[in-house]
Amino acid sequence: MSDWKPDRTYDGASGEIRWTAFGREDGDPVVLLHGTPFSSYVWRHVGAALASRHRVYVWDMPGYGTSEKSAGQDVSLAAQGRAFADLLDHWGLADPHVVAHDFGGAVALRAHLLHGAGYRRLALVDPVALAPWGSPFFRLVNESAEVFEQLPENLHRALVREYITTTGGPGLHPATLDALVEPWLGEDGRPAFYRQIAQADQRYTDEVQGRYGEIAIPVLVCWGTADAWIPVAKGHELAAAIPGARLHLIEGAGHLVQEDAPAELTAALMGFLDGPDA
């Protein structure tokens, strides 16, 4: 999977987590959270740009990317929220900036609202945060994961590849698509792909959705207008639910804004994180 390999480890309750940090040693810390079925790889371009001003932390959630994938592993949103809060303690970060995409948005929100994780600022990029969520394909696999796990490797590869191409927007470079698919292949990756979908449950966002009005830190909501997984209307709804939140729409970008419009997303994030009231 290219040369993007988080080179440090943390032994968490849900398995070994791979992570890394880079950028200015004296810069304000910013933590980047990926979504599903992705990994920290999606932040490689935006993270590199933010590193000119910040100390950037990235991690692969348990069950994703280069982190541990194992039978019986708890990779639910509940487990990931706890894992993130624990990881912040391990890093010694009391109030970092946090930027979270997709499923990572729910992880960041749960860690903040349920586990007391403190953030200086929070940017949510096309997050999973409001009911209902989950595409028809996602719901089908959720209900029949044990059947899909029996697919031959070549059909499984094709399924994952085609699924990722449905995010909307201009489409992915073939090498990027290969890198996003690779962690889900092989003896560990194939069952891990279906495991994370099987454990997805809307109740984990239902538990915090009614508390978004309690968020008292600056929040930026970024959304690709061509997101085919979560409609842009959810961006307007989420921004309205969080006091003082600002909404930034990125025209023509799909769900993977980091890949579709990295320069515009980076500019929006830098303006937010480095604003005069930061």
Helices (H), the chain: 44-50, 77-91, 103-114, 136-143, 145-148, 153-164, 174-181, 186-198, 203-209, 233-241, 257-260, 262-273
pLDDT recorded at residue 278: 42
d(CA 74, CA 85): 16
Partnered with residue 31 across adjacent β-strands are 57, 98
Q: Is cis: bond before 132, omega within 30 of 0?
A: yes
Residue carrying the six token digits 């929220």: 81
Which residues make beta-bridge pairs with 82? none
Per-block average pLDDT, block size 10, for the chain (278 residues)?
81 96 96 98 97 97 98 96 98 97 98 97 97 82 84 95 95 95 96 94 93 97 97 97 98 98 98 77
